[in-house]
Homo-oligomer: A and B are copies of this chain.
Amino acid sequence: MMRAAKTNTEIRQGQIAQAALKLIARHGFHHLSVAAVANEVGIVPSNIYRHYQSKDQVLDGVLELVSERLLGNVAAARAEAPNSLGRLHCLLMRHAQLVQNDVPIPRVVFSEEIFTGHKPRRRRVLRIFQQYLEHIAELIREGQCVGEIRKELSPDTLSMMFLGLVQPAAILWLMSEGEHDLTQQVQSAWNIYCQMIQSEVRTKEAASSSTTRRGKPSRRFHLQPT
Contacts and interface: CB of A to CB of B under 8 A. Distances in A.
Contact of A196 (B113, B166, B192, B222): B192
Interface stretch (A2-10, A79-87, A169-177): A169-177
Contact of A157 (B106, B171, B175, B188): B188
A49 interface: no
Contact of A175 (B125, B151, B175): B125
A226 to B, nearest CB: 10
Given A160-B185, A160-B189, A175-B126, A112 B111 contact: yes
A147 interface: no
A163 B163 CA distance: 11
A116 interface: yes
A151 B192 contact: no
Contact of A129 (B113, B129, B175): B175
B28 A116 contact: yes
Nearest to A225: B154
Contact of A112 (B113, B129, B163, B223): B113
Interface in A1-59: 27-31
Given A112-B29, A112-B31, A167-B164, A188 B221 contact: no
A115 B222 contact: no
A168 B170 CA distance: 12
B161 A129 contact: no
A50 B224 CA distance: 53
17 contacts: A27-B116, A28-B112, A110-B111, A126-B175, A152-B223, A154-B225, A157-B189, A157-B222, A158-B192, A160-B189, A161-B189, A161-B192, A163-B164, A163-B168, A164-B167, A164-B189, A192-B196
